[in-house]
Every structure is written in structure tokens, then in C-alpha cells.
């Protein structure tokens, strides 16, 4: 059976006109995906194993794979592009592995134990239900700063920004000298209510820098009011600590990627993705805002696709080798989470909300020989050593090994044939460690493991939907990631989605989503404005004046940062926003302001009306409760500048017979027995084609398994729609 030539001049079923001008990279825990985009939006993808110790190696290998698909050299690729966009996990891995900087902390006297105390929610985060019941297994997250390197100084500013106690500067000098003697690499400063009035933090920072200069040391000073000037001291403290702790190594990884890009001819600076969507320079002063950038790209890509298909209620599901990430867009609204959890730390970092479970093709399978209990993970084989079938030193069976054993993966076409899967080696190990222990046949055990994984993902999707308060029939499921199409049938069965869609470029969909983002800055500050439900004209106008003053200050800060990054002032757009709630509620809703300034009571009413409209979209209309009044907890400003984006081409539907993409038959075990499954080349499927299962649709970077009697239809955008029998 011959494989089609996939490195020719076809991109998105359209001829390539020019060379790429954008490189988008998503470095996950297992694979690094690349997408190349030209001036007209045509694109091509590449893939390689992630290299955590030096991410530049995986970046270059993945970019080379994409360049080969385009038919150009690395030098031609990098010398011609305007944007290199990289989203990875380097900083998060630094936090997880506790390999960051040696930190010291200066805080308000009386708060020295804040790190050790933490918050109840973060202390129990990521624990299983059983572990939450049995507190004997519980332990707090390892502190980033030990108690002996935490120093309290006398000072106090109240919630209104007034100085209650002056700063005792001699205590600051003594604390700074102790930390310098303790050979810290960074000093963090966090005082209470500094987000309202930072005068004490600024003075503490100045004294520390003076002491550092006297000692001739090289120590960086971080202040919480500069990193994240918002309410909630514990989350603000975590933000400044993680900025100081993890971003130094992350910057080195990103600098290595920039260096290797410039080595091959790239002329500009590398960009990365912010956790709330949008691009920024790798020199961004608050780089911790990019720590979970990879999965965010999928939500951005989903919003882009949703506009094409005319559905604004979407479930985004990303299954790779390590995790199953889910995002929700409800009636056009994407939820912003102001205090996400990151390795059991609550941070003040606005983030597009994601739900994640450990469920991917790299999950390690274990069977207890006494109880016969089967466990999926939580460990993943990752990219090194990877599953047994990769033959790179892996010894523990994984879900990917089960897929190979059951004939669902083509052993000679993984990564386009660059990796030949050792199926018999995987089968022998799986039989010894799993099937024989369970006392069942290899195929039955392997499919049972896959069913467990898909059931976990299916249940997770149901939980996410139930939290939105609307019926599954209103949602379209978008499935992507290298393993998403492979397990799509089981993950989505029985839920009742309006539609189920996957993509020819599913493996690089998060990278695709990253390239749909614009350059962005987001600035915000905490406020406390309680607006009565029946406020008079003068009261509303006064609130409006306060809001406008803050927006003007934030506009200047955001625009100045973007101009410093090289964006022309006339290309920068600004949109103010508010975080609001009905008075007395616990959760905020992000509201894009309907106007740039609030100059009258009528303008303020327009803002309140916009909040109620957004609230009704996110929740049910009947849940509105304006009689309680309104509370503005945060004011912010988003500044953006455009960049070129990929384009999905719309073409007329043709014949339904997919014979042109057919490339043979292979035995595949599905539903308890072996089937002769028709094989199709994914990139050769055309609009109008319909594939009926049992079938396997292959791509160098992913595989779509079509169960017996299920159907896949290709629409005019060349999106693949999956229908259950």
C-alpha cells in the first residue's frame, strides 16, 4: 500500500502562493506542534517530540517537519517570517519540579506565616475524593520561600489607602542585609493593601536596592503592586513569588528559542501567548501571565471556528498524551477566571477558564495483582521515554500501546512514518503486566483500558456542561489534540451534542488557535464600587467619573508598553472592561465596556445594562437580580494590535464517495471484535465526502477512528463532522 505524497504544494486544499510569514508553536507535555501561515492564511503543520530539558531542540525539529511539508528549508522559513509565536510549559515545569530561584520575602509584620498557612481551597486542590475524605494523606504545597527567609517589617496601610503605621525603615535595612547574607537570588515584597496605595512597597524596594548595591550583589527585586495590583493578599503574594521563582528559567528557555530562530535568519523577537489570550514579547515584565499558554490557544481557535459554523456555544476538548483539557464558550462568552489554581497555588492572573483531568494516550496503565484494580495514571510516559511501542526505553504499558495493539494506529505511518511503532514489543509487555494479571485476552483487556479512559473523558464533559445550566443539544463539541480524534467516538457518545467536529489539523489545533490571536496587553486594578439599584443621577455620574479616571490611567500604561514593543500608536486599539457582580454574590463576570468613557448617568446605565445582558448569556435570564444592586470589583483595559491569521477556505460540496482518499484496509479491533476497517488519507478528503465506519482516517500527526455504523461528513470548510449511529 503506497502512501500519498503529503509534502507537495497543497495547503488547506489550495495552492501555496507565498512563503510562510507566521510560525506558531505549541509545546505540550508529549509533543511539540507547529503551524506555518502565509500572507493569504494558507497553513501547514509539523510535529515532533517535546524536549523538556532544552525546548529549543523540539522547537527546531517540529519547525523543520513543517518546513519539509511546505517544501522549503529552515533558512528559507525563518528568514521570511515576521512572527515566531511560542507557547510552552517550561515555566510551569520549573514550578512543578521546584527548581526555580532562591527567594526571600519582606512583608507586613504579622503576615510572615501567610505562605505556610496558604488558603484552604489551594491546600486541598488536585486531591482525589478519597484523599479529601481522609485527611491523613493531606499535606500543604511545598513553600516557595521557607519561614527563615521571610521577614516582617512594621508598617500598615488600610483598605482606603491611608497610612495607619509609618514604615520602620531600619527594619527593612536589617531584613535586606539578612537576605543578602543568605545568598538569595531575588527579593519579593508584598505589603497589605499595596494595591490601593503602593508607597510603602516602593520605599522598601528602594532600600533593598540600596543595600544590594552596597553589598555588590546581583539580586532582583519584585514588588506585588507592579506584578499584580489587585485585591486578595494571598493570591497577590503567590503571583509575585511565582514571577520571581519560575520566570527566570522560562526566560532562558524562550531566549534559547529566539537565539536558534535568529541563527536561521529570523529578524525579530519571539512572541508568546498570554493566559487570557493575546500575544506578547518574551521580554514581557509579567511573564508568569504566560505559564499556561498552550491550552489557551485551543479556546482561541474554537472561538474562531465557531464564527464560521454559526454556533456560539462550544465545548473545546483537547486530548494529548498527558491530559484532557476542556474549555467552554457559552453563547459567545468565554469565562475569565481571575484566580486560577496552578500547582496548588491560587494566583491573581486572569486566565481563560479550563477544566483538566489526567486522561491522555500516554497514561501509564497499572493492575494491582491482588485486587485486580486497574489504574490509569496519573503518571504519563510523556515524550521521553514514551510508550513502549515507541521503542525509546519505555517499559510501562500505556493507552497508546493499546491503540497500537488493536490496530487503530498505523505502525508505519506514525508522525508520517518517522517513528515505526513496535507493536509486538508493546503487546508482549501489555500481556505480561495487564492482560495476564486480569485473566483476560490481550484485545479484551486493551479495549477495556481504552473504554475506561474514554469514560473518564465522557464524564468530565458531562460535568462541564451541567455547570453551564444549558442543554447539551445547544453545544457543538470541538475535538482536537493528537489523541482527540483517536478517542472521539467514546468520549462523545451518548451526551447529545448539537454537532461533533474535529479537524485535519487536530494535532496542531492549539498552535492554530495561537496564530488567531492578536498582540495584546491587559492591565487592571481592584476597586470597590457598590452601586445601589435605585441610584440617582448624581450618584451614577460620580461613579462614572471614578471609572473613567482609572481607565485613562490604564490606557496610558498599556499603550506605552505596546509602543515600547514596536507597535505604531495608530495600530493599537483599546477596550476598557469591568469585573462585576450583583452585590452580595461571590463570583464576578467580565464585561466589555460599551463605551470608552463614562461621562454621564446615562452612560453609567449603559454599562449596567451591558452587565445584565452578559450575565443573562452566561447564566439563565431569570437569574438576574438587579434589585440587589451592583458591585464593580475590578477595572481593566485591553490594548490590541492586529497580525495576520490563518484562513479556512470555503469550497462547494462535491460527491459523497471518498474513493479518492481510500488507501486500503486494515484489521482493527473495535467493539469486542476484529473488523476490516477501510483506511482513508485525511488530507485527501474533500468537501462532501462521507465515510461510514468501521474506518480509520489517518494523518501523519493524528488518527480518527470511526466506529461501526458511525459516520464522518466533510463540510465546505473541510471540517470533519462525526455522527453516532
- Report, in angstroms and rounded to the nearest whole number, the Rg of the chain calculated over CA atoms: 27
Contact (CB, 8 A) for 637 and 278: no
Mean local confidence (pLDDT), 548-556: 93
Pairwise CA distance, residues 33 & 251, whole Å: 20
pLDDT band at 123 (very low <50, low <70, confident <90, very high): low
Pick the more confident residue, 129 or 63.
63
Q: Where do the structural domains in the chain lie, given as residue ranges?
A: 20-94+250-290, 101-230, 314-497, 519-641, 659-723
pLDDT in tens, 315-369: 999 998 878 888 888 877 777 776 666 666 766 677 777 777 778 888 899 998 8
Residue 271 pLDDT: 86
pLDDT in tens, 184-233: 999 999 999 998 899 999 999 999 999 999 999 999 999 999 888 877 88
Counting other chains too, the contacts that 206-214 makes at CB distance below 8 Å and 24 or more residues apart are 207/169, 207/172, 207/173, 207/176, 208/106, 208/172, 208/176, 211/173, 211/176, 211/177, 211/180, 212/176, 212/180, 212/187
pLDDT band at 276 (very low <50, low <70, confident <90, very high): confident
Backbone angles phi, psi at 695, to 5 degrees: -155, 160
- Look at 369-378, 496-505, 705-714 and tell me which has the smallest mean pLDDT: 369-378
Backbone angles phi, psi at 491, to 5 degrees: -65, -30
With DSSP H G I counted as helix, E B as strand and the rest as coil, what are the percentages for the chain, rounded to 5? 40, 25, 35
Same fold yes or no, 20-94+250-290 and 101-230: no
Pairwise CA distance, residues 569 & 548, whole Å: 21
pLDDT in tens, 386-401: 899 988 888 899 999 9
Q: Which CATH number fits domain 314-497: 2.60.200, 2.60.40, 3.30.420, 1.10.260?
A: 3.30.420
pTM of the model: 0.77
Is the preceding omega at residue 378 within 30 degrees of 0, hence cis? yes
Pairwise CA distance, residues 356 & 160, whole Å: 38
Residue in 474, 520, 462, 52 with CA at minimum distance from that of residue 281: 520
Q: How far is CA 647 from the centre of its chain?
A: 22
Pairwise CA distance, residues 716 & 696, whole Å: 21
Query: Strand locations in 112-228, DSSP E?
Result: 150-153, 156-157, 163-165, 186-190, 220-223
The helix (run of H) or strand (run of E) holding residue 297 is helix 293-309
Residue 126 has pLDDT above 70, yes or no: no
Neighbours of 121 (CB within 10 A): 12
Is the preceding omega at residue 694 within 30 degrees of 0, hence cis? yes
Sign, CA dihedral 615-618-624-625, equals: negative
Pairwise CA distance, residues 526 & 550, whole Å: 10
Report the percent of the chain where pLDDT is more than 90: 46
Residue 562 has pLDDT above 70, yes or no: yes
Pick the more confident residue, 406 or 47.
406
CATH architecture assigned to 101-230: 3-Layer(aba) Sandwich (3.40)
State the Cα angle at 432 between 431 and 433, rounded to 5°.
Answer: 100
Residue 129 pLDDT: 61
The helix (run of H) or strand (run of E) holding residue 718 is none
Pairwise CA distance, residues 511 & 414, whole Å: 20
Backbone angles phi, psi at 155, to 5 degrees: 180, 160
- Look at 491-495, 582-586, 683-687 and tell me which has the smallest mean pLDDT: 582-586
Q: How far is CA 539 from the centre of its chain?
A: 41
pLDDT band at 497 (very low <50, low <70, confident <90, very high): very high
Q: What is the mean pLDDT of the chain?
A: 86
Residue in 418, 504, 508 with CA at minimum distance from that of residue 684: 504
Q: Which positions ≥6 away from 210 have C-beta within 8 Å?
A: none
CA distances from 635 to 239, 577, 625, 632 (A): 19, 6, 22, 7
Mean local confidence (pLDDT), 25-40: 81
Residue 468 has pLDDT above 80, yes or no: no
pLDDT band at 676 (very low <50, low <70, confident <90, very high): very high
Pairwise CA distance, residues 155 & 67, whole Å: 58
**Residue given cell 518574551 in the structure block:** 282
Pairwise CA distance, residues 136 & 127, whole Å: 12
Pick the more confident residue, 542 or 286.
542
Is the preceding omega at residue 385 within 30 degrees of 0, hence cis? yes
Pairwise CA distance, residues 24 & 300, whole Å: 13
Contact (CB, 8 A) for 107 and 154: no
Residue 208 pLDDT: 97
Query: Strand locations in 447-532, DSSP E?
Result: 476-480, 499-502, 519-531
Strand, helix or coil for residue 445: helix
Query: In sequence order, what are the beta bridge partners of 23?
Result: 36, 84
State the Cα angle at 139 between 134 and 143, rounded to 5°.
Answer: 165
Pairwise CA distance, residues 142 & 99, whole Å: 12
Residue 11 has pLDDT above 60, yes or no: no
Cell of 131: 484523599
Pairwise CA distance, residues 139 & 68, whole Å: 49
Residue in 56, 160, 140, 47 with CA at minimum distance from that of residue 509: 47
Cell of 282: 518574551
Q: Which positions ≥6 away from 138 have C-beta within 8 Å?
A: 123, 124, 127, 131
CATH class of 20-94+250-290: alpha beta
pLDDT in tens, 236-255: 888 899 888 888 877 888 88
User: How far does the chain reach from its first CA to its final CA, in angstroms?
Assistant: 30
Query: From its phi and psi, is residue 661 left (phi > 0), alpha (psi between -120 and 50) or beta?
Result: alpha
Q: At what angle do helices 90-97 and 233-263 cross, to 10 degrees?
A: 130
Q: What is the DSSP string of 547-564?
A: HHHHHHHHHHHHHHHHHH
pLDDT in tens, 615-658: 887 776 666 787 889 999 889 999 998 877 777 888 899 999 99
Cell of 178: 539578612
Mean local confidence (pLDDT), 702-724: 95
Q: What is the DSSP string of 4-43?
A: P--SSSEETTEE--S-EEEEEEEE-SSEEEEEEEETTS-E
Amino acid at each position: 500500500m503506497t502512501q500519498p505524497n503529503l509534502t507537495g504544494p497543497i495547503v488547506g486544499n489550495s495552492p501555496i502562493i507565498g512563503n510562510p510569514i507566521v510560525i506558531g508553536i505549541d509545546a505540550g507535555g508529549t509533543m511539540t506542534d507547529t503551524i506555518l501561515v502565509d500572507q493569504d492564511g494558507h497553513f501547514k503543520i509539523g510535529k515532533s517530540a517535546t524536549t523538556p530539558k532544552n525546548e529549543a531542540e523540539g522547537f527546531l525539529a517540529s519547525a523543520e517537519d513543517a518546513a519539509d511539508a511546505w517544501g522549503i528549508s529552515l533558512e528559507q522559513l525563518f528568514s521570511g517570517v515576521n512572527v515566531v509565536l511560542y507557547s510552552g510549559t517550561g515555566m510551569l515545569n520549573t514550578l512543578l519540579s521546584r527548581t526555580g530561584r532562591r527567594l526571600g520575602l519582606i512583608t507586613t509584620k504579622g503576615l510572615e506565616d501567610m505562605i505556610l498557612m496558604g488558603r484552604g481551597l489551594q491546600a486541598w486542590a488536585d486531591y482525589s475524593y478519597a484523599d479529601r475524605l481522609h485527611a491523613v494523606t493531606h499535606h500543604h504545597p511545598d513553600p516557595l520561600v521557607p519561614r527563615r527567609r521571610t521577614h516582617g517589617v512594621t508598617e500598615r496601610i488600610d483598605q482606603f489607602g491611608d497610612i495607619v503605621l509609618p514604615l520602620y525603615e531600619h527594619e527593612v535595612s536589617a531584613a535586606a542585609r539578612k537576605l543578602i547574607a543568605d545568598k538569595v537570588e531575588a527579593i519579593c515584597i508584598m505589603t497589605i493593601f499595596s494595591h490601593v496605595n503602593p508607597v510603602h512597597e516602593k520605599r522598601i524596594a528602594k532600600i533593598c536596592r540600596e543595600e544590594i548595591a552596597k553589598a555588590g550583589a546581583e539580586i532582583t527585586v519584585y514588588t506585588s503592586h507592579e506584578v499584580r495590583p489587585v485585591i486578595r493578599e494571598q493570591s497577590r503574594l503567590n503571583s509575585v513569588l511565582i514571577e520571581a521563582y519560575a520566570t527566570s528559567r522560562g526566560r532562558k528557555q524562550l531566549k534559547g528559542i529566539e537565539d536558534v530562530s535568529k541563527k536561521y535568519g529570523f529578524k525579530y523577537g519571539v512572541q508568546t501567548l498570554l493566559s487570557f489570550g493575546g500575544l506578547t514579547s518574551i521580554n514581557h515584565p509579567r511573564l508568569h501571565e504566560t505559564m499556561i499558554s498552550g491550552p489557551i490557544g485551543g479556546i482561541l481557535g474554537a472561538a474562531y471556528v465557531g464564527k464560521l459554523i454559526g454556533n456560539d456555544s462550544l465545548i473545546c476538548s483537547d486530548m494529548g498524551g498527558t491530559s484532557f483539557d476542556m474549555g467552554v464558550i457559552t453563547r459567545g462568552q468565554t469565562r475569565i477566571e481571575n484566580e486560577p489554581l496552578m500547582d496548588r497555588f491560587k494566583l491573581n492572573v486572569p486566565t481563560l477558564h479550563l477544566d483538566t483531568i489526567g486522561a491522555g494516550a500516554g497514561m501509564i496503565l497499572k493492575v494491582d495483582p491482588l485486587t485486580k484494580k486497574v489504574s490509569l495514571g496519573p503518571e504519563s510516559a510523556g515524550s521521553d521515554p514514551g510508550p513502549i511501542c515507541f521503542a525509546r526505553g519505555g517499559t510501562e504499558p500505556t493507552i497508546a500501546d493499546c491503540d497500537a495493539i488493536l490496530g487503530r494506529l498505523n505502525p508505519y505511518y506514525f508522525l508520517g512514518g518517522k517513528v515505526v511503532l513496535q507493536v509486538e514489543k508493546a503487546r508482549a509487555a501489555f500481556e505480561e503486566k495487564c492482560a495476564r494479571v486480569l485473566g483476560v485476552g490481550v484485545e479484551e483487556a486493551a479495549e477495556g483500558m481504552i473504554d475506561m479512559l474514554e469514560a473518564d473523558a465522557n464524564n468530565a464533559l458531562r460535568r462541564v456542561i451541567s455547570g453551564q445550566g444549558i442543554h447539551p443539544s445547544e453545544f457543538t463539541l470541538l475535538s482536537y489534540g493528537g489523541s482527540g480524534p483517536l478517542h472521539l467516538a467514546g468520549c462523545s457518545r451518548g451526551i447529545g451534542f448539537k454537532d461533533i467536529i474535529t479537524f485535519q489539523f487536530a494535532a496542531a489545533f492549539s498552535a492554530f488557535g495561537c496564530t488567531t490571536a492578536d498582540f495584546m496587553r491587559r492591565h487592571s486594578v481592584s476597586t470597590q464600587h457598590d452601586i445601589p439599584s435605585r441610584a440617582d443621577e448624581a450618584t451614577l455620574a460620580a461613579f462614572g467619573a471614578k471609572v473613567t479616571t482609572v481607565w485613562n490611567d490604564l490606557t496610558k500604561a498599556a499603550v506605552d508598553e505596546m509602543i515600547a514593543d514596536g507597535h505604531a500608536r495608530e495600530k493599537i486599539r483599546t477596550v476598557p472592561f469591568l469585573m462585576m457582580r450583583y452585590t452580595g454574590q461571590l463570583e464576578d463576570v467580565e464585561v466589555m465596556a460599551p463605551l470608552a468613557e463614562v461621562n454621564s448617568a446615562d452612560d453609567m446605565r449603559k454599562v449596567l445594562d451591558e452587565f445584565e445582558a452578559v450575565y443573562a448569556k452566561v447564566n439563565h435570564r431569570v437569574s438576574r437580580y438587579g434589585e440587589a444592586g451592583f458591585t464593580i470589583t475590578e477595572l481593566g483595559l485591553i490594548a490590541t494590535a492586529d497580525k495576520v491569521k490563518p484562513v479556512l477556505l470555503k469550497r462547494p460540496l462535491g460527491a459523497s464517495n471518498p474513493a479518492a482518499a481510500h488507501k486500503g484496509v486494515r484489521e482493527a479491533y473495535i467493539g469486542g471484535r476484529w473488523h476490516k476497517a477501510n483506511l482513508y488519507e485525511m488530507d485527501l478528503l474533500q468537501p462532501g465526502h462521507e465515510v461510514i465506519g468501521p474506518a480509520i482516517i489517518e494523518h501523519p500527526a493524528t488518527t480518527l477512528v470511526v466506529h461501526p455504523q458511525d459516520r464522518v461528513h466533510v463540510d465546505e470548510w473541510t471540517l470533519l463532522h462525526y455522527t453516532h449511529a
